[in-house]
Homo-oligomer: A and B are copies of this chain.
Amino acid sequence: MAGHNEPFRYMAVQQKVLDMIEAGTLSPGDKIPSLRRMSAAMRVSLSTVNQAYVLLEEQGIIQAKPKSGYFVSPERPSLAPCIKQHAPPTPPTPVTRGEMIRMVLREVGRTDNLPLGVANANDELLPIHQMTRIMGKILRENPIQATSYAPIQGWPELRSAVARHIMDSGTACTPDDIIITSGALEALNIGLRAVTRPGDNVLIQSPTYYCFLQLLEHLGLRAIEIPSCPTCGVCPSDVEKALTKFDITAAIFTPNYNNPDGGLTPDDAKSAVVRIMAERGVPLLEDEIYGDLHFTDDRPRSFKSFDETGNVLSCSSFSKSICPGYRIGWIIPGKRYSKCLELKATINVSSASPSQLAVAGYLHSGQHVRHLRRLRAALSKQMTTMSEHIYRYFPKNTKLTRPQGGVVLWVELDQSIDSIEFFRKAAEYNIGVAPGVVFSTHDQYNNFIRLSFGYPWSDAMADGIATLGKLATEMQSA
């Protein structure tokens, strides 16, 4: 570090500690190198190391223990493991976030923005060249099939491949149980239209993906919100209370890595929710789109895997993990199969044949197993890196989730910060972020933002996070 500019020496020390944490060399609770050892290793003065350690302590990343030295904080500043105090369900509310969501979507879609606002994995992480090769092969081998209308429910080879693919989520179904859709949102659109009518109440978790709110708005449905927890997702007793208190026609939950809070509903809770909904005869729609992106060894199970009565409508797609632009998703509608099939027919007859056949070919090739393994490892690392940078550059009272999967972090800023204003200021720096306020029908999450870690780490990303941290610091009232 001899060549390092004087004023930045302490930053190099900070970076070193953060790198060691990020790499797992240091874990929460571990003792970090003493002042003397670090001073020797980095060839800086003791006071420079001290300066760095004091700053790291202020950021909550390390803690001093009297007479023992510094340790990696056992509790990183994060959203409480369970933020919910089992808040009661909100009363039914017409969804009117539309204008705000549209404004956010317009900004987030800007391609000149640093894409921290978009909840998907970047091109560089997707198997683009394999997909392209397979599509070319499929077209050469089956030109007529690829040009013809697919059956409404989708080509059999794709439905077989999906049935095999979802066995990892514990879901045992046959190709005939599956309807291919143009992405997961179309699946949810179909599923929701199959079981509701305008004016009906739909149970959602809060925060929830803003596109669900848009969907409810356009279908004239009212939202009832129960708390989502960044750690344990949806709580069965909250579901039960809401069903007792209100006339509810359907629920939409994201059991695995809820967007935006990353909440993972544990298996026993999933089983209980499925049972409760079935007992009441209220259809349960699940968005299972992030389940494949687990950072843990085992893939979490789906609601569908606990469904014994056909009451779960399971929706998912390959848009987050393989090929967003191909628009291939599916719904497993259980006992609402016929109605969903009709709706698919009236929406667009069937999904694009070239896309269907290419995805079927890709899954059949088995390449996706290795691809998903690599993708998960990359996302997990990117999540850690981004988290560390947030700890480094954001005000000390910033809290964030530690998701076990998916592509987004949910960040709680100081109470004084308005996320829409933050979103607007970030946009002036060409940085896309999703403001918390669009994830609920009520005025909450005003001081939250959602950041995507779906893009490979780069200097631009680091600069972006530093800029956002600076913004948060400036906006925070003293």
Contact = CB atoms under 8 A, between A and B. Distances in A.
Interface of A: 98, 102, 105, 109, 120, 123, 126, 128-129, 131-132, 135-136, 139-140, 143-152, 181-183, 185-186, 189, 193, 197-198, 211, 214-215, 218, 220, 319, 323-327, 342-343, 345-355, 358
A32 to B, nearest CB: 42
A81 to B, nearest CB: 33
Nearest to A357: B325
Contacts of A345: 105, 211, 214
Given A214-B342, A347-B186, A324 B132 contact: no
Contacts of A181: 348
B147 A131 contact: yes
A102 B354 CA distance: 26
Contact of A218 (B126, B147, B193, B324): B193
Contacts of A146: 132, 325
10 contacts: A105-B345, A126-B147, A135-B139, A147-B325, A182-B352, A183-B348, A197-B220, A214-B346, A327-B350, A352-B352
B131 A136 contact: no
Contacts of A152: 109
Contacts of A342: 98, 102, 214, 218
Nearest to A118: B149
Contacts of A343: 218
Given A136-B136, A151-B109, A355-B355, A185 B349 contact: yes
B349 A352 contact: no
A11 B120 CA distance: 68
B148 A140 contact: no
Question: Quick one: which of A197, A325, A342 has the most chain B CB within 10 A?
Answer: A325
A285 to B, nearest CB: 15
B215 A346 contact: yes
A324 B198 contact: no
Question: Quick one: which of A105, A128, A148 has the most chain B CB within 10 A?
Answer: A148
Contacts of A136: 136, 139-140
A345 B348 CA distance: 14
List 10 A-B pairs, minimum CB-CB distance, nearest first: A325-B353, A186-B348, A182-B348, A352-B352, A327-B352, A132-B143, A132-B139, A148-B325, A149-B324, A128-B147
A129 B146 CA distance: 11
Nearest to A339: B218
Contact of A327 (B151, B324, B348): B348
A343 to B, nearest CB: 6
A182 B325 contact: no
Contacts of A150: 325
Nearest to A194: B218
A140 to B, nearest CB: 7
A189 B346 contact: yes
Contacts of A350: 325, 327
A367 to B, nearest CB: 14
Contacts of A189: 346-348
Question: Quick one: which of A109, A120, A185, A351 has the most chain B CB within 10 A?
Answer: A351
Contacts of A98: 342
Nearest to A215: B346
A325 B147 CA distance: 5
A120 B120 CA distance: 38
